[in-house]
Structure 1
Amino acid sequence: MVEIFCEAVPKAAENFLALCASGYYDQCIWHRNIKGFMIQTGDPNGTGKGGQSIWGKPFADEVRSTLKFNNRGIVAMANSGPDTNKSQFFITYAKQAHLDGKYTIFGKVIDGLDSTLDAMERVPVNPKNRPLSEIKLTHSGSQTRIIDETSSLSQVTIHANPIADAQLAGR
């Protein structure tokens, strides 16, 4: 389960929750997996080069000094440089202080931190850090889950919190 920081980073939160709710992430594969660092997804093409925000264009970073890569399970926007956020995101496997101030952190894993992330981190990868067996996000109703059919990997469920629901309903 992932907690989303709706008040601290409203644009990133809105983008992520709307993409989850629309099924955009359904069947997205985790295309990059670096043990001890992070795992990345959010490109429907599965190449790591695609993706789109809900606004149809990249949106600005929402870097906050109060949000740090200080633990395992931090969820942040992946991008190709400043203010190029779209739909790709990553989850850290460990503290990554060198990323502070460079990427928009919009959530953290609050359940499944050990079992699910451990299983994902153990998935074998090729020399370009692409998992050898596909790990996919699936969407069902208001939940987005992470699955790996080949190894019976656990799932992570992403729930919108009441603040996010109210924000999205008011738009």
Structure 2
Amino acid sequence: MALPTRGRVILETTVGEIDIELWSREAPKACRNFIALAMEGYYDGVIFHRVVPDFLVQTGDRTGTGGGGESFYGEPFEDEIHPRLKFVHRGLVGCANNGTKNSNDSQFFITLSRADELNGKHTLWGRCVGDTIFNVLKIGALELDENEKPLYPPKINRVRIVDNPFDDIIPRITAEEKRAQQRAREEAQREREEQQRRKGAKK
């Protein structure tokens, strides 16, 4: 399992940082997809919508339902199953799919223990490093509803790209632009509400 990694990101979450090394040579499509979406701010504010105790935690769906998600490529992308990469311990990061081949999008999971049943079915593209695995385990220990969703879901505040192995990615919109758009929308909404309030006061 001592393959050289290339690329590193830190998920800044509401339960602390999760430091992830990328296997960008073995799974270039999956890693490029993740980095490109992160550059666009796609994962900002996304919750961990699914927890299966002693198995995995899952995130990456902007709808928070598990039924959404989109890839940077505009369509689901194919699996990258590498013979030497196997889900043999906790802290491994893989593409979530809809149960069929080549159906990867923005959703991903992190394992909480060995998960042999995922081998050959899910693209493995990274691993948690250092003590940040304990923040993943914290998510794995949360109280859940009957649909495997945490009662108080933690969320990704933003993704910090420490080492980008793909210097040719051109985001459709940068995370900073996206945040600026969001601020502008919120400001416009506040102004509309203020105008409505003034109208109401004049009557």
State the TM bucket, normalised to the shorter chain: 0.7 to 0.9
The 1:76/1:114 distance shift into structure 2, 3 A limit, reads closer
Secondary structure at the aligned position of 2:33 is classed as helix
Tell me the TM-score normalized by structure 2.
Answer: 0.71
CA distance, structure 2, for counterparts of residue 95 and residue 2 of structure 1? 18
CA distance, structure 1, for counterparts of residue 76 and residue 64 of structure 2? 18
- From 86, 94, 102, the equivalent of 2:121 is 102
Structure 2: runs of 5 or more not aligned: 1-18, 171-203
Q: Are 2:43 and 1:43 aligned?
A: no
The 1:109/1:167 distance shift into structure 2, 3 A limit, reads farther
- From 26, 30, 34, the equivalent of 1:12 is 30
Moved over 4 A (4+): none
- From 129, 137, 141, the equivalent of 2:156 is 137
- From 135, 142, 161, the equivalent of 2:163 is 161
Q: CA deviation at 1:165?
A: 4.1
CA distance, structure 2, for counterparts of residue 112 and residue 132 of structure 1? 25
The 1:78/1:25 distance shift into structure 2, 3 A limit, reads same
- From 127, 131, 137, the equivalent of 1:118 is 137
Tell me the TM-score normalized by structure 1.
Answer: 0.83
CA distance, structure 1, for counterparts of residue 169 and residue 133 of structure 2? 31
Q: Deviations over 1:131-167 (max 9, x none)?
A: 000210111xxxx1xxxxxxxxxxxxx54435x1435
Q: Are 2:105 and 1:86 aligned?
A: yes
CA distance, structure 2, for counterparts of residue 118 and residue 85 of structure 1? 24
CA distance, structure 1, for counterparts of residue 62 and residue 114 of structure 2? 27
Secondary structure at the aligned position of 1:166 is classed as coil
CA distance, structure 1, for counterparts of residue 133 and residue 42 of structure 2? 26
1:150 alignment partner in structure 2: none
1:62 alignment partner in structure 2: 80
1:152 alignment partner in structure 2: none
- Given that 1:4 and 1:160 are in contact with CA atoms closer than 8 Å, whether structure 2 keeps it comes out as no
- Given that 2:32 and 2:166 are in contact with CA atoms closer than 8 Å, whether structure 1 keeps it comes out as no
Structure 1: runs of 5 or more not aligned: 145-157
Q: Deviations over 1:88-145 (max 9, x none)?
A: 0000000101111100001000133442122111111011110000210111xxxx1x
The 1:112/1:19 distance shift into structure 2, 3 A limit, reads farther
RMSD: 1.5
Q: Deviations over 1:50-108 (max 9, x none)?
A: 01000110000001111100110000000011000010000000010111110000100
Bigger proportion of residues as helix: 2
What amino acid is the match of 1:20?
Answer: A
Secondary structure at the aligned position of 2:57 is classed as strand
Aligned residue pairs, count:
151
